[in-house]
Structure 1
Amino acid sequence: MRVCAVAPFAPDDAAAPDDPRWQAHDILRLHRLEAFDNEPAWVRDAFARAPFVVVRRAQVAPGFVAVGVRGAARNERYGTWARCDDIEAVVKPEALPSASTLSADRRALPALVALDAMRREPPSTLATFAWGPTGSVGFELATFTPTVTSTSDLDLLIRMPNHFSRDEARWLQAALDAHAMRAGIRIDAQLETPAGGVALVEFASGKARVMARHASGPRLIADPWTCVHAQAGL
């Protein structure tokens, strides 16, 4: 996030979120967005236009969820905090509708064309996984607010609770690269692992350690699955 509000709770009260109702990249509809000091001027207009926020990775205190607000411009991103009592609905990436719910001119945008092509492919490249779009594509499908442009990337979240081999990752990355080439866009996939979010392209590259993005902060790890079990003493 380019700008982030100061947390409205004491540092000693903060911990990794443990509420199973929402996870990073989920989209929340709010009936109210609390204002904090140093809030950018565009935030109120953006929230009035689309009363939705995106869950972000950060430590929180009970009763709060860390969220991000999207503005109209690419550089308008604001990290803030919502009260759990203000949440009206939760939309997960894997539950988002297809682009057929949008107008014909919106469906023709390359990122949305690529998403629908991946969903129609028999069998789908991602058929065995729980997955869905995030970023501008996910936001538009959840809110029906025009967000995708002709140059937008297609960002994907793939739930990966169980071990995923490097060979499988390389195969999946190659399949996504082929879709990206046909659509003339970039497709970025993130694996949601027990250790946090890991870029598929990084894991598939064969690096000894990869960056896992977690609410407590990013960290380099060798295996996004076994390291969590080791820390838990399992």
Structure 2
Amino acid sequence: MSTTAARPGQRSTHDPAPAARLPRARVVGPVTATRSLTPTAHDLLLLHHLSALRHTPGHHGQQPSLPAWAHDHLRARPWVAVSRSPILVGRSTTPTQPGRRTPNTVPASEQWIPVTIHGPQRHQELSAFAPRSTIARVMRPEDLLHRLGLLPATRTTRIPALHVLPSVDEIMTRQGLSWGPTGEVAYELASGAPVTRPTSHLQVLLRAPQPLGRNETAQLRQCLRQLPAQIDAEFETRHGAASLTEYAASTRILTLHTENGPRTVTDPWHPDIRAQ
């Protein structure tokens, strides 16, 4: 009996967990910068049915097991971050390479979200796939700031990357920009795990569906530099993300991080336009 592919947003997060094997994957779409029911890059996902989480295999065949540290960490704090990679869908044991399609592909019953598992140690990081039906909650970067008050005062006053969040919000509000923290700060705000270190940089994501002015970004960068924390800001277009510092420096060529890897562009909002 044939099946039909689920449209983004059609499957409820309360649907039964998928079969224990990761489907043979085909690409159904990018993890884009637009707000939708589909999780996007840098979103944090709270998962249930952790047994359905699958480590990204490096070869065809049996799925390798998650390492012990990943099992232990997820059991205590089942949060993962969405990676900037294609969403996969299908019914097999191993995903195909992103962008590859096979003739007469069987429509899938499950979407698999590319995620990164961050462990308690800096070197503990693992790529994986999470079935969409196991997502209990999605926290976007711009949804996290209000959770700052849930952290102990000893954290928010002594850790620079946490302490400057209200000041960054004031600057972004004046500029009329939608933004949120990512990286260690985002994970701590979502999960409560004290992972942000005194030396941690504050990673910031700006939503920029429309082009930003060079002068505007240069002024914004200057304001951020005056704060008592190292801030690494990037802006997200519909095609990927680019460094605010690189763009503000009026660099003619800059790097756009896309679902298929980095590429050099002249215009991050129209990446297919070639330099004249």
TM-score, L = length of structure 1? 0.85
Q: Is the 8 A contact 1:98 1:116 kept in 2?
A: no
Deviation at residue 226 of structure 1 after TM alignment: 2.6
**2:236 is the counterpart of 1:187:** no
Aligned to 1:50: 77
> Which deviations, in whole Å up to 9, do the C-alpha atoms of 1:73-98 show, x marking residues without a partner?
11111111000000001001101124
The answer to whether the aligner puts 1:200 opposite 2:227 as a matched pair is no
Residue matched to 2:92 = none
C-alpha RMSD of the superposition = 2.0
Contact kept, 8 Å, 1:134 with 1:155, in 2: the verdict is yes
Out of 169, 186, 209, the position equivalent to 2:253 is 209
1:69 maps to which residue? 117
Instruction: Say yes or no: does 1:118 pair with 2:145.
Output: no
Aligned partners of 2:219 and 2:163: how far apart in 1? 22
Paired with 1:224 and 1:103, the residues of 2 have a C-alpha distance of: 39
In the alignment, the residues of structure 2 paired with residue 88 and residue 191 of structure 1 have an alpha-carbon distance, to the nearest angstrom, of 27
> Relative to structure 2, which stretch is displaced further, 168-177 or 98-107?
98-107
Match of 1:137 in 2: 185
Deviation at 1:118, TM superposition (A): 2.5
CA contact (8 A) 2:31 2:86 kept: no
Higher relative contact order (CA 8 A, sep 6+): 2
**Which secondary structure state, in structure 1, belongs to the residue aligned with residue 88 of structure 2?**
coil
Q: 1:39: which partner in 2?
A: 66
Query: Is 1:30 the equivalent of 2:80?
Result: no
- The CA deviation at 1:227 is 3.0
Equivalent residues of 1:153, 1:188 under 8 A apart: yes
Q: Aligned partners of 2:43 and 2:197: how far apart in 1?
A: 21
Question: Which of 1 and 2 has greater Rg?
Answer: 2
Deviation (angstroms), 1:10: 4.2
Question: Taking structure 1 as reference, are residues 98 and 87 closer, same or farther at Cα in structure 2, changes over 3 Å only?
Answer: closer
1:4 alignment partner in structure 2 = none
What is the rounded CA distance, in whole Å, between the counterparts of 1:222 and 1:15 in structure 2? 27
More helix by share: 1
Separation in 1, partners of 2:194, 2:137: 20
Relative to the length of structure 2, the TM-score reads 0.73
Is the 1:190–1:198 Cα contact (8 Å) retained in structure 2?
yes
Distance, in Å, in 2 between the alignment partners of 1:8 and 1:220 is: 33
Give, in whole Å, the separation in 2 of the partners of 1:194 and 1:28. Answer: 21
Tell me the SS of whatever aligns to 2:117: strand
Contact 2:46 2:138 in 1 (8 A): yes
User: Which amino acid counterpart does residue 196 of structure 1 have in structure 2?
Assistant: G
- Pairwise CA distance, 1:116: 2.2
Residues 1:215 and 1:38: Cα distance change in structure 2 (over 3 Å): same
Q: Work out the CA distance in 1 between the residues paired with 2:214 and 2:116.
A: 32
Question: CA-to-partner distance for each residue in 1:190-219, whole Å, 9 max, x for gaps?
Answer: 101122011111111211111111112211
CA distance in 1, matches of 2:217, 2:192: 32
In the comparison of the two structures, how many residue pairs are matched? Answer: 215
Quote the Cα distance in structure 2 between the aligned partners of 1:209 and 1:32.
Answer: 44
- Structure 2 residue 199 is matched with structure 1 residue 172: no
* 3-state secondary structure, aligned to 1:152: coil
Q: Which residue of 1 aligns with 2:266?
A: 222
**Change beyond 3 A, Cα 1:155–1:18:** closer
Residue deviations 1:107-164 (CA, integer Å, cap 9, x gap): 1211111112323xxxx21110110111111111111111111111111111000011
Aligned equivalent of 2:27: 14
Q: Which amino acid aligns with 1:173?
A: R
State whether residues 64 and 83 of structure 1, in contact with CA within 8 Å, keep that contact through their aligned partners in structure 2: yes
SS in 2 for 1:151: coil
